[in-house]
């Protein structure tokens, strides 16, 4: 009997241990491991569809830190000029390393900077031959031998300080290691009929192939991996698959040498769409390896086009080379170009600096951060200094407006707000229920609500006497933006 009791006790004890172990394994789940690198914003306006600008805007604009980017000498309208800080488009890239944020900022000191987003401390600085105006593109090269070659920044610059337009080489597009800040390759922007050999646009890398129309007017398809490039002196030049003219003979008559492509291309439905300075929107089919869609507007198109939730493009239009007004156009590239316009919103024509009106910057939308019951919104600023908020899904059926060339009429979208601010070539960003606008004369933060089909918007913060041409990005309640006073700012609510 005692033996039976002892055996039963052993069985119960063993069963209890097993249950306790299972219980501990159930309770003590392994913690989620943060990836070593997480790319939050990989290119201008965040992603391949140009419609992500961060996760949350703050409710205050206190200066958390500021970092002096420096200055550089470069021509402007026939004279040499000192450029300070950073400008158009100048949006930072954002990366998390084990959850810690870092930004990549191109600047007017000829430098590409990696900066700790929490402390404002510079990690490295790579120098180009001229000022950097555009935003870079961060590409993950899965075939790189190690981390120094796997994370690559593709960045453009002006053609080179004091470099003649007819120079043999203009190394205005380069690739730099994200980790080390060392050069991987450089590309020669060849001489064409264009007056420029700069690179302002941000490249796209789709399936390990790069796409970008340079300011020389050539849409360039290239291999961004330096190992497949050509050795030139002591550096590599990437392999170029093809270069396609994004201008016609007629364009050179109408626009002269002003046939530059400054905008950043957009990826939608196996196509790379580019808004060209010649007034064309080109659709390059990456499967066919050629353009099979193109639409003519005629004006200089500087801004980049976001993809909307219904797979359309929002096209900012400058007032130049056209009979009518510039403004914002919604285009459905799934349709024939002749019938692809969904709506058009003209804006007032006004002489500002050397522009004649329209929209110079880009347009942003709330698709990535909107609530389910909120409308699909787009926001932009025109040369007059008016900030628009429009419902891009609905048109005014009772109204018709002239097209940019006054050849036909379209319905305009529903305008929910038109606020007088200050003119700028910066692009405002809309995240959740807030809009941040940087202008020539200050920074503006707005908050809006949409209840019972009524849209209300109010200004909740303002920083005067701050001039910015660059586009901001926001993350975790912090705004990062470069000013023309020489500094990069981190703004938000101080702890």
For 410-442, how does the pLDDT look when each residue is reduced to its tens digit (9 = 90+)?
999 999 999 998 899 999 999 999 999 999 999
Q: Are 432 and 439 in contact (CB under 8 A)?
A: no
Is residue 360 one of the residues assigned to a domain? yes
Is residue 199 one of the residues assigned to a domain? yes
| pLDDT score recorded for residue 20 | 46
Torsion over CA: 334, 336, 342, 346 (sign): positive
| pLDDT score recorded for residue 77 | 83
354: pLDDT confidence band, cut at 50, 70 and 90? Answer: confident
34: pLDDT confidence band, cut at 50, 70 and 90? Answer: low
Q: Where does residue 485 rank: exposed (0-12), middle (13-18), buried (19+ CB within 10 A)?
A: middle
Least Cα distance to 492 among 481, 483, 484 occurs for 481
DSSP code, position 180: T
Is residue 324 one of the residues assigned to a domain? yes
Q: Are 109 and 69 in contact (CB under 8 A)?
A: yes
Report the share of the chain in percent with pLDDT over 90.
Answer: 88
| pLDDT score recorded for residue 453 | 87
How far is residue 404's CA from residue 343's CA, in Å, rounded to a whole number? Answer: 12
Letter string b/e over residues 310-349, b meaning 16 or more CB atoms within 10 A of that residue's CB: eebbbbbbbbbbbebbbbbbbbbbeeebeebbbbbbbbeb
Rounded to an integer, the average pLDDT of 27-55 is: 84
Rounded to an integer, the average pLDDT of 214-220 is: 98
478: pLDDT confidence band, cut at 50, 70 and 90? Answer: very high
24: pLDDT confidence band, cut at 50, 70 and 90? Answer: very low
DSSP code, position 308: P
Q: Is the pLDDT of residue 21 over 90?
A: no
Q: Is the pLDDT of residue 19 over 60?
A: no
| pLDDT score recorded for residue 35 | 72
Question: Which H or E run contains 71?
Answer: strand 71-76
Q: Is the pLDDT of residue 371 over 80?
A: yes
Question: Which H or E run contains 328?
Answer: strand 327-331
Q: How many domains is the chain partitioned into structurally?
A: 1
Q: For residue 262, what are the CA distances in angstroms to 10, 207, 426, 462? A: 79, 23, 14, 30
Angle, CA of 297, 302 and 307, to the nearest 5°: 80
Q: Are 349 and 359 in contact (CB under 8 A)?
A: no
22: pLDDT confidence band, cut at 50, 70 and 90? Answer: very low
Torsion over CA: 97, 102, 108, 111 (sign): negative
Rounded to an integer, the average pLDDT of 187-208 is: 97
What are the tens digits of pLDDT across the range 234-266?
A: 899 999 999 999 999 999 999 999 999 999 999
Largest CA distance in the chain: 110
Lowest mean pLDDT among 22-36, 86-100, 190-204: 22-36
| pLDDT score recorded for residue 15 | 44
Is residue 238 one of the residues assigned to a domain? yes
Is residue 298 one of the residues assigned to a domain? yes
Is residue 152 one of the residues assigned to a domain? yes
- Looking up residue 346, the CATH number of its domain turns out to be 2.130.10.10
What are the tens digits of pLDDT across the range 384-415?
A: 999 999 999 999 999 999 999 999 999 999 99
What are the tens digits of pLDDT across the range 171-180?
A: 999 999 999 9
Mapped onto helix, strand or coil, the DSSP state of residue 160 is coil
Is residue 215 one of the residues assigned to a domain? yes
| pLDDT score recorded for residue 33 | 60
| pLDDT score recorded for residue 8 | 44
Rounded to an integer, the average pLDDT of 343-360 is: 93
Q: Are 252 and 272 in contact (CB under 8 A)?
A: no
Rounded to an integer, the average pLDDT of 278-300 is: 97
Higher pLDDT: 71 or 352? It is 71
| pLDDT score recorded for residue 320 | 95
User: Taking all residues of the chain, what is their mean pLDDT, rounded to a whole number?
Assistant: 93
Q: Is the pLDDT of residue 51 over 50?
A: yes
Q: Are 213 and 188 in contact (CB under 8 A)?
A: no
Structural domain range at position 415: 39-492
Residues paired with residue 97 on neighbouring β-strands, in sequence order: 37, 100
Q: Are 158 and 223 in contact (CB under 8 A)?
A: no
Mapped onto helix, strand or coil, the DSSP state of residue 249 is helix
193: pLDDT confidence band, cut at 50, 70 and 90? Answer: very high
78: pLDDT confidence band, cut at 50, 70 and 90? Answer: confident
Rounded to an integer, the average pLDDT of 213-238 is: 96
Is residue 80 one of the residues assigned to a domain? yes
95: pLDDT confidence band, cut at 50, 70 and 90? Answer: very high
């Amino acid at each position: 009997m005692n033996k039976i009791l002892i055996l039963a006790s052993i069985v119960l004890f063993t069963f209890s241990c097993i249950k306790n172990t299972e219980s501990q394994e159930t309770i003590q789940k392994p913690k989620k491991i943060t990836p070593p690198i997480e790319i939050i914003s990989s290119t201008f306006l965040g992603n391949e569809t140009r419609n992500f600008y961060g996760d949350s805007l703050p409710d205050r604009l206190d200066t958390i830190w500021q970092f002096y980017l420096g200055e550089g000498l470069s021509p402007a309208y026939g004279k040499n000029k000192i450029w300070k800080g950073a400008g158009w488009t100048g949006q930072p890239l954002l990366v998390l390393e084990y959850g810690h944020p870092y930004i990549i900022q191109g600047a007017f000191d000829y430098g590409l900077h990696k900066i700790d987003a929490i402390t404002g401390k510079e990690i490295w600085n790579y120098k180009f031959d001229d000022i950097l105006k555009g935003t870079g593109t961060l590409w993950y090269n899965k075939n790189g031998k190690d981390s120094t070659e796997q994370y690559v920044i593709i960045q453009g610059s002006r053609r080179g300080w004091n470099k003649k337009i007819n120079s043999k080489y203009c190394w205005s597009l380069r690739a730099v290691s994200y980790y080390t800040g060392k050069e991987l390759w450089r590309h020669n922007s060849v001489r064409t009929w264009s007056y420029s050999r700069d690179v302002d646009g941000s490249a796209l890398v789709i399936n390990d192939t790069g796409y970008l129309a340079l300011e020389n007017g050539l849409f360039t398809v290239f291999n961004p991996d330096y190992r497949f490039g050509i050795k030139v002196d002591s550096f590599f030049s990437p392999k170029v698959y093809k270069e396609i003219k994004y201008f016609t003979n007629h364009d050179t008559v109408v626009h002269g040498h002003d046939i530059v492509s400054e905008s950043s291309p957009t990826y939608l439905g196996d196509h790379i769409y580019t808004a060209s300075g010649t007034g064309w929107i080109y659709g390059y089919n990456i499967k066919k390896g050629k353009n099979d869609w193109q639409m003519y507007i005629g004006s200089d198109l500087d801004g980049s086009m976001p993809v909307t939730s219904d797979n359309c493009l929002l096209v900012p239009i400058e007032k130049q080379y056209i009979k009518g007004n510039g403004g914002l156009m919604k285009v459905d590239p799934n349709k024939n170009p002749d019938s692809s316009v969904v709506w058009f919103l003209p804006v007032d024509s006004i002489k500002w600096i050397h522009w004649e009106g329209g929209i110079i910057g880009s347009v942003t939308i709330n698709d990535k951060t909107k609530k389910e019951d909120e409308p699909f919104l787009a926001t932009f600023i025109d040369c007059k200094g008016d900030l628009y908020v429009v419902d891009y899904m609905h048109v005014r059926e009772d109204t018709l407006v002239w097209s940019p060339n006054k050849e036909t009429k379209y319905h305009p979208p529903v305008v929910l707000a038109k606020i007088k601010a200050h003119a700028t070539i910066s692009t405002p960003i809309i995240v959740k229920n807030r809009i941040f606008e940087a202008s020539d004369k200050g920074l503006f933060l707005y908050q809006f609500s949409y209840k019972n089909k009524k849209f209300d918007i109010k200004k909740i913060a303002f920083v005067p006497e701050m001039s910015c041409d660059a586009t901001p990005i926001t993350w975790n309640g912090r705004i990062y933006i470069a000013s023309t006073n020489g500094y990069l700012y981190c703004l938000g609510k101080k702890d």
